[in-house]
Structure 1
Amino acid sequence: MEGAPSSARSESHVPMPGGHPPAWDLDDPALYLNRELSWLEFNQRVLAEASDRRNLLLERVKFLAITASNLDEFFSKRVGWLKRMLATDARTRTVDGLTIAEQYDLVVNRCHRMRRDAEAVWHCELLPELADHGIRIVRFTELEQPARQALREYFERSIFPVLTPLVVDPAHPFPFISGGSLSLALNIRHPGTGQDRFARVKIPPNRPRFVEAGDFRFVLLEDLIAAHLDMLFPGMEVTDWQELRVLRSAETGAPGEEADDLLELIESALRRRRLAEAVSVEITGDLPSARMELLLEELQVSERDIYRSHGPLGLQDLFQIASLDLAPLRDPPFTPAVPSAFAGPGDAPGFFATIRERDLLVHHPYESFDETVVRFVEEASEDPAVLAIKATMYRTSPDSPILEALIDAAGRGKQVAVLVELTARFDEANNILWARKLEAAGVHVAYGQPDLKIHSKICLVVREEANGVTMYAHIGTGNYNSRTARIYTDLGLFTADPSICGDILRIFNLLTGFGEQFRTDVVLAAPSNLRQSITDRIRREIEHARAGRPARLIFKMNALEDFECTRLLYEAAMAGVQVDLVIRGICRLRPGLPGLSENVRVVSIIGRFLEHARIYYFENNGDPEYFIGSADLMKRNLDERIEVLAPVRSPEHRAQLRELLELQLNDRRQGWRLRDATWERDPSVTEPGCQAILLERAPFS
């Protein structure tokens, strides 16, 4: 069986009892997998796709780039958080029983092992296979003279003017090294005095990392720069150089900091992030001891934070190679389907009449985001009968057609309100720009609170009609982002159901107004009633199972992290409830433990698209309930964010969701199975995976 290594904690820190005891203690930390290590196992599954020869070659390169990008973000977010906690209380224990100090050691070791695995995949697998297909990464010195001359001219014209050599001496302090940037760390020697100096040259991030040298040959940008260092340090001798890369913490908030102006607070946090503490330093080769001591002192890191790489650093730049226009080596392109309800030119009255007549459910990227969700907002913007539009914005693209349509709507005199989440990690700058642009256009802009992020994906249209004012809502599982909608799988529900729309309206009124909590009738919303509603429904399944009635839970989500929910799912399994979980990333629960979780199945789908939809199914003695929305079973989603789950009531849509869930639970090609604490998959399976099947079926609604 093909399997990602199980977490270090489960390997060495938690010996499970031999056999199963008469009764399980559900508060035993041994039953709960560590959140950080579980996420790293997810990234290991992504890395496995880079080695899987069932995938086309450039798709495998893409998966390696995704692995590297994911790991960078993990360092900035989670290792940054662990380091911050180390400074406050290293002995704090999380629900899995590990102290912060123990987690930090395990996590850093696991990250370093993953980096080594990624480098091995690049050097031992992908690089030779690319060469077999005529795509070669070569050294500058390996090129013939005409090619070297062409690249030298390119360097002089397009690279040299951008570079800034920085030397460290009494007149020049150690240069600031920004997070994620790639540099050359150099030793410069004066030929007359023999005196050595440390110097740094930043590799410009706005130039292609892989420089074309003709005939699908590429030279790394740092290699090209290193070959021309004589132009940067004339008359000096460069005795050696290494690549250097620093990752900095994304944890920037000041303890106890309060906001009179949230936008200014987030802008200040972004400035601090640039100067945040280093959490990882990557270097190629071995630095001389004096230069290593200089780096440790100036970057304020320890040897523990250093990773020595065989290079190249920054493997996320392999997206450039993965995007080469070589059709035989890439997944075939596809055009998202336009559901029949949205097909044809139509007009706004007819468009809204369709939604008023029946709910519509769309599944991206198999069905077009632009021709459904974007069109919903654009039609509302242009329709004279529309009085108001309200929407949330968590992450969006810099060229968002939805926000442009909302600006157009405000210009047409409609009441437009947008809830902008300024603290969406790594999207803060883009959201600030849009917030200012929306405000300048006359849109009513409100912001989430620092301790209560607006993570819901909701849009409400209010329209004047013959029989009075009618509301139309869209509730999604993914962001209003046309770019990510092409590569994330998400669901969206369009409805004119008065009960759902009324709940959405109350949520918007709370977010733009003032109040302690909001009431919803049919929508499950956090932090108001979502946790209790999920808990009550799981307990209902437990009672059904104990009474011998049909009882089953199927949850599809990104993460199962919340301790109380995990504990309750153990209770359900012990009571005889069939628990099926489709979880992309973090999973604290250990399935397959005798007498405890034998009724639990956990599947993780890793494939061409990022699984992002959330679906919650409750069997309820043959009267099932389905919900879709923005929330995972994580403490932050249940208690610290504005989240929305909406009921799906149409029999047709319920059948569609059930088919999707069963398809993923039984996927042997893309579906990994969690056995206790180890993820496994059969590498010999060649049948199509669920995503390939859905691509073939679209449109299917």
Structure 2
Amino acid sequence: MDKKVKPATEEGSGPVFLNRELSMLEFNRRVLAQAENLNLPLLERLRFLCIVSSNLDEFFEVRLASLLAQGRLDDEGVVAARPPVFVPGLEHTSEECRRIIERQYALLNNDILPRLAATGVHLLRQDECSEGQCAWIRQYFENEVRPLLTPIGLDPAHPFPRVVNKSLNFIVELTGKDAFGRGSGIAIMKAPRVLPRVIRLPDELGGPPGTSYCLLSSVIQAHIDSLFTGREVISCSQFRVTRNSDLWVDEEEVKNLRQALQTELRSRQYGFGVRLEVATDCPPHLADFLLDQFSIDRDRLFAVNGPVTMVRLLEIISKNDRPELVFPPFVPGLPAKLINQNVFELIEQQDVLLHHPFQSFLPVIEFIRKAAADPQVVAIKQTIYRAGMNSDLMESLIAAALAGKEVTVVVELMARFDEEVNINWAERLEDAGAQVIYGVVGLKTHAKMALVLRHGPNGLRRFAHLGTGNYNLSTSRAYTDFGLLTADPELTSEVAEVFNHLTSLTRPKQLRHLWLAPFSLHKEILRAIENEAAVALTGKPGRIIAKMNALTDETVIAALYAASQAGVKIDLIVRGACVLRPGVPRLSENIRVRSIVGRFLEHTRIYYFRNHKPYEVYLSSADWMNRNLFRRIEVAFPVRDAALRKRVINEGLLPYLKDNVDAWELNSDGRYQRRKPRGKQAAHSAQQELAAALGGATGAAPGLFGS
């Protein structure tokens, strides 16, 4: 290089890095904007509104809980049962959450529900129901709800009950004396978790024309008086507490991770409280009482104008029979070359690249199914992070083990919120005779790999699948991801080396093609970024395009700042949190950051380095986050075939840089601005254009991968 690039500095323009928590909340603002989009079908707008609620739940359960837990650790590093200490910046974060939540409920009450009612879909309060509907609801309460209710009047013998994480509950204030002449004035009641939160009312009961629903919370509140004979109910308010949901296992002491997790899962529902939601009609003294019970700071009290369990409104969508209110069904495409072909012969001839959800995930499932049934296949190895509760792929692995094949499955038991499902799969696999391991203690196995060993005319041959997303058919229909089926001897031998590393715990041999975390991935990313900077300093064009879910690793960001200062043109497509500040003079003026939020969840990780030879394009399971680079088993793999590299660029990157429908651009202050067509500029939606180009069945699934 002719000259050195100075380390990235503030240059007098504010902090070098954006706040991570506020960046995560900015993502939820972008999702909320989808709920505000009048061009989307009404029930899809409601779905996005519920997604915001689900995202905020996880934000409090995991991210904020981890910050609060730092102030609750005892001398041995265990979370203690005492109130959290002050965490800098938390008050600002809570205020940002409050603004989002207020907008959510205003949008629900003043826009989405009235528009749904105008189309004949009604969510009714008790005072809006017809006489026939009220009578039906009364009978439903008596027959289905009341027998399951257990109100608890608080006194020394009836202490405050344990409240499950995110469950619907009621706090009731009473006058008068109880049956024993005492004046206990507060009762707590849990809503039965086995009952639906949204109840569809029969059509023949009168009421407004169309389809009518009511909420379980409304049914209970309308009949709460009948549960307290001889006493007057002054107030009845719904509430919900969100708890810390991170699992903690002493990895130095535990002897069996699966058994330890099974024990820990039982206590997850009762972690320390991080947020309290109450209805706006909850009297202040009762809200204070609840805050005290759960040791929650007032900053994390949220009074909401509607159901505290908004995410359960998804039940309206699942019960819907109005196709015009949701997105039209999308049929993934199926490449013609895959139909009625022998999968192993096909992959021996050429690599196969699949782009989900625009192209079907079925070829991946069929790859494993054919391997399980093929007598020439002697072994299958696979990593599993999130397979889902029902999985044909997992059933194929079990069938392969029962057939006597050597089946090795690396099941990640610490996949957040999928721990129990994965434990169940691990037990079934072991019962079938598969070799099951749980990755590496202290590191989550997040890499997406499958390896098949098959006898052929010239001896044993390896076949592999490498991907950016989970082996999960359900999420493959909603998440964008790439997958590569290959028999490339150099790639598949390195995949075999990674599996050997995971099972034997020996350090992997030098890998020439795969970038493996926590060993080489971070170094190779930095090396590739620095190489672009070195090229730019010689006067040649340096270019980086990267697509991922989140960008928070400060060392990678510092390298990107340095590359920007060297003149490298950098485009980053980051769906969620991004703490890099783009467009700051003398720091990041050559960096643009955009986020795409559309019908499908952007999940693909692509790294493009123009001058990184011999391969410019890598696909990966890893975001550019500290946890992915240092605390997980991750793999980035090159796309070696020139035609397929071109496909990745033309499908996975360039359409997203051209998008002016679903794209948001990050400003240096941390706020995002929506991109819109200007003047006579044509509208471009990457997702819509890819769906049109790649979607649509080209053959029947049963003919896929003929024998």
TM-score normalised by structure 2 residue count: 0.90
Partner of 2:34: 49
Q: 1:385 aligns with which of 376, 380, 386?
A: 376
SS of structure 1 residue aligned to 2:185? strand
Q: Does 1:206 align with 2:202?
A: no
SS of structure 2 residue aligned to 1:245? strand
Q: Does 1:311 align with 2:306?
A: yes
How far does residue 516 in structure 1 lie from its aligned partner after superposition? 3.8
Q: Does 1:339 align with 2:335?
A: yes
Taking the TM superposition and a 5 Å limit, the aligned residue runs for 1:11-50 are 25=9, 30-50=15-35
How far does residue 622 in structure 1 lie from its aligned partner after superposition? 8.7
SS of structure 1 residue aligned to 2:414? coil
How far does residue 518 in structure 1 lie from its aligned partner after superposition? 4.6
SS of structure 2 residue aligned to 1:367? coil
One-letter identity of the residue aligned with 1:34:
N
Counterpart CA distance in 2 for 1:684 and 1:33 is 28
One-letter identity of the residue aligned with 1:340:
A
Partner of 2:580: 589
Q: 2:591 aligns with which of 576, 593, 600?
A: 600
How far does residue 153 in structure 1 lie from its aligned partner after superposition? 2.3
Taking the TM superposition and a 5 Å limit, the aligned residue runs for 1:345-424 are 346=341, 350-369=342-361, 371-424=362-415
Contact 1:83 1:104 (C-alpha < 8 Å) held by counterparts: no
Partner of 1:195: 183
How far does residue 492 in structure 1 lie from its aligned partner after superposition? 0.2
One-letter identity of the residue aligned with 2:626:
K
Deviates more, 1:483-492 or 1:183-192: 183-192
How far does residue 304 in structure 1 lie from its aligned partner after superposition? 2.5
Deviates more, 1:227-236 or 1:430-439: 227-236
Deviates more, 1:292-301 or 1:449-458: 292-301
Partner of 1:178: 164
TM-score normalised by structure 1 residue count: 0.91
Partner of 1:278: 273
Counterpart CA distance in 2 for 1:511 and 1:64 is 40
Q: 1:167 aligns with which of 128, 141, 153?
A: 153
Distance 1:309 1:621, change over 3 A: closer
Contact 2:275 2:300 (C-alpha < 8 Å) held by counterparts: yes
One-letter identity of the residue aligned with 1:689:
S
How far does residue 164 in structure 1 lie from its aligned partner after superposition? 2.4
Counterpart CA distance in 2 for 1:445 and 1:23 is 46
Counterpart CA distance in 2 for 1:552 and 1:126 is 44
Partner of 1:664: 656
SS of structure 1 residue aligned to 2:87? helix
Taking the TM superposition and a 5 Å limit, the aligned residue runs for 1:203-242 are 203-213=191-201, 214=203, 215-242=210-237
Partner of 1:679: 672
Could you list the per-position Cα deviations for residues 305-329 of structure 1 after superposition, in whole angstroms to 9, with x for gaps in the alignment? 3112222212111212234221222
Could you list the per-position Cα deviations for residues 203-230 of structure 1 after superposition, in whole angstroms to 9, with x for gaps in the alignment? 2333222212233121111111122224
Distance 1:325 1:471, change over 3 A: same
One-letter identity of the residue aligned with 2:9:
D
Counterpart CA distance in 2 for 1:159 and 1:600 is 57
Contact 2:531 2:612 (C-alpha < 8 Å) held by counterparts: no
Deviates more, 1:653-662 or 1:199-208: 199-208
The percent identity for this pair of structures is 39
How far does residue 682 in structure 1 lie from its aligned partner after superposition? 4.1
Taking the TM superposition and a 5 Å limit, the aligned residue runs for 1:240-259 are 240-253=235-248, 258-259=253-254
How far does residue 663 in structure 1 lie from its aligned partner after superposition? 0.4
Could you list the per-position Cα deviations for residues 408-449 of structure 1 after superposition, in whole angstroms to 9, with x for gaps in the alignment? 000111000000111111111111111111111111000023
Counterpart CA distance in 2 for 1:518 and 1:479 is 26
Distance 1:697 1:227, change over 3 A: same
How far does residue 143 in structure 1 lie from its aligned partner after superposition? 1.5
Q: Does 1:471 align with 2:462?
A: yes
Taking the TM superposition and a 5 Å limit, the aligned residue runs for 1:71-110 are 71-87=56-72, 101-110=87-96
Could you list the per-position Cα deviations for residues 524-561 of structure 1 after superposition, in whole angstroms to 9, with x for gaps in the alignment? 11011111111111111111111122320110100111
Q: 2:637 aligns with which of 639, 646, 653?
A: 646
One-letter identity of the residue aligned with 1:141:
D
Could you list the per-position Cα deviations for residues 451-481 of structure 1 after superposition, in whole angstroms to 9, with x for gaps in the alignment? 1110001000000111010001101101111
Structure 1 vs Structure 2 CA RMSD:
2.2
Counterpart CA distance in 2 for 1:303 and 1:488 is 37
Distance 1:621 1:241, change over 3 A: closer
Counterpart CA distance in 2 for 1:206 and 1:604 is 38
Deviates more, 1:485-494 or 1:128-137: 128-137
Counterpart CA distance in 1 for 2:447 and 2:477 is 20
One-letter identity of the residue aligned with 1:125:
D
Could you list the per-position Cα deviations for residues 327-346 of structure 1 after superposition, in whole angstroms to 9, with x for gaps in the alignment? 222110011111123223x4
> What number of residue pairs does the alignment pair up?
666
Could you list the per-position Cα deviations for residues 105-129 of structure 1 after superposition, in whole angstroms to 9, with x for gaps in the alignment? 2222211221112112112221221
Deviates more, 1:330-339 or 1:410-419: 330-339
Contact 1:82 1:100 (C-alpha < 8 Å) held by counterparts: no
How far does residue 142 in structure 1 lie from its aligned partner after superposition? 2.3
One-letter identity of the residue aligned with 1:145:
E
SS of structure 2 residue aligned to 1:101? coil
Structure 2: runs of 5+ lacking an equivalent = 1-5, 75-84, 204-209, 699-707
SS of structure 2 residue aligned to 1:539? helix
How far does residue 239 in structure 1 lie from its aligned partner after superposition? 1.8
SS of structure 2 residue aligned to 1:673? strand
How far does residue 194 in structure 1 lie from its aligned partner after superposition? 8.4
Partner of 2:3: none
Counterpart CA distance in 2 for 1:161 and 1:88 is 42
Partner of 1:266: 261
Contact 2:154 2:186 (C-alpha < 8 Å) held by counterparts: yes
